[in-house]
Structure 1
Amino acid sequence: MKRETIFKLESPYRDTMRITAFTFGDYDNKESEKACAIVGATRGNEAQQIYVCSRLVAVFKKLEEQGKIRSNKQILIIPTVNNYSMNIKKRFWSLDNTDINRMFPGYDLGETTQRIAYNVFEQVKNYTYGIQFPSYYMPGEFVPHIRMMHTGYEKPDIAREFGLPYVYIRESRPYDTTTLNYNWQLWGTSAFSFYAGKTTEIDEPAAEIAIRSIIRFLTKMGVCNCSLEEGFVSQVIRASNVSSIISAKSGILQRIKRAGNHVIHGEVLGKIIDPYDGTVHEKLLAPIDGLVFFVHDSPFVNESTYVYKIIPSEI
């Protein structure tokens, strides 16, 4: 294992910001394949994302010692690119509230977050496979899955090799062109966004699923040599297939169903409670039979908020 600082940012008021990368495999051989780059937290509240990557560092260190990373292969892990925001509990860049994951491929002479993105992308852009652990723009809990943007470069058949229940494909939007995933694809990397359960708290079962899934994927791609159980036969779903339940009222959210629960049409998913007198403002009902794919997990919910997303039993 090689540990190195790939970017430093001096500060007059705080300790120097350092972005740390871990490389495993045949990293001393310039002719070896840059097989897989894994990037964790780009935002300061992504606790699950940095946790999974820290676990992966420990796992790959053992695999390397056991000779289970194939010769002529390199694996790179960057657990976080934004520890400056993480240690003061802010989601975005602490000085100007910009999102580093909206700054790729970056610019070495630009604003601070552009320079951070540039230096990270220079390290990861030439890898065959790229795995990012992002988070959703709303607080919530997902069933672990691989998410891909429809860019014309996506490869859902390869994504199925992770062995997760679902591969989720959504249409790309104009602002997606500045994300790491999108730019990885433009530079020829097979890129995958791995949604590993929660964001602001540790989800141990989902983390274990993520770790085993990545080792399974890299074994099937010929990067590792490990023996693992077969995963799921992944179902490829599109955003248009997923049914959304949107709140009509605001208040305290009482969740009855959680991510991964199976529900039937008309079943109560949750309730929105008046924060003053405890009356039920609204019952959130399942519009279809299916599986709860996402659930909003903040204690408070506003009007017109996506509270639940359900994958129908039949697509």
Structure 2
Amino acid sequence: MSHAPTALDGSSDSQNFFKVEYDEEYWDAYLAARPKYDDGRFYQRIYDYHKKHNPNPSWNLAHDVGTGPAHVAAQLATRFSKVVASDNNATHLAVAQHRLASSAELSRISFFEAASEDLAGHFPSGSVDLVTAAECLPLVDAEVTVDGFARLLRPGGTLAAWFYGRPTFAASGPDAARCQSLLDRTFSLAFQRVIRGGGPGWERATTRLVSWLDDVGFPAAQWESVERWKWNTHASMCFYDPEVACDFPVERISSIDAARELVVEERDTNFWAKRWDVAGVRRYLYAAVPGIQAILDAAEPELEALFSQLEAAMGGPSAVHDITWPVVLILATRK
């Protein structure tokens, strides 16, 4: 988008990496296309970790960072007495309040506008029991942000940060491989139009995705019991092929301390499973990053040709396929 996003109150919101105007259709697509993290096991894994690494776990205050439409904050409000939902984008906070207006959880949630790098300056140190950061670490200065998380959390508090990557056809075999190849090419071409010339934020984000967030470090002076859970590492955490989409070099970086961190890889093709036809693929791409909407609306011949090939490979416009995701979840305890 070339113009500044507009919040529900009409104010300008122009200083954000992820920019979008308030658009009901967009946010409906955003929430419909993405995994919902609601199979019961995922949040329970976080809560079990919180109890395991804290002899007297507190469920008073959770803070959801980069809350977007606050779907994570709403879930946390079913377990914690109070939840702070923060975002650096005023439009996102307006969307969250609008969409949760009739929710029973709204009374437990307060909203705060701030960048993740600045949060520690706005809240008392050691005041938070759980910090969640869903889908935001590739967009921020991780060193500053993680240090801020450590300041927010009380001793024994939990950080849960996660990210999911490129949609992946769950089946195996040559037909699924062809579908995946066409999806990969389609995503890479669409993202290329946004990334090239899009600024240094894309280089940081791409490096972090290619690295499966392994480049994010957790200093021993602040953190213990660090766990990195990875699902479906056979797939790509990056939404696009950097060699196709990017005009800068990318390398995989690791800050894992093997002596004190647990790394577990699992393959689970039912993880957050969805069933998509080719329209579902398009809907997800439409909502992936602001800016791609205009590219899809322009119906570029090269991109539309790839969609046509993908539709044929999938078996026609009404054929549906199981989709899964590569996912990384980082859990850490504040010393």
Q: Scaled by the length of structure 2, what TM-score is found? A: 0.26
Q: If each structure's strand is expressed as a fraction of its own residues, which one has the higher value? A: 1
Q: Scaled by the length of structure 1, what TM-score is found? A: 0.27
Q: If each structure's helix is expressed as a fraction of its own residues, which one has the higher value? A: 2
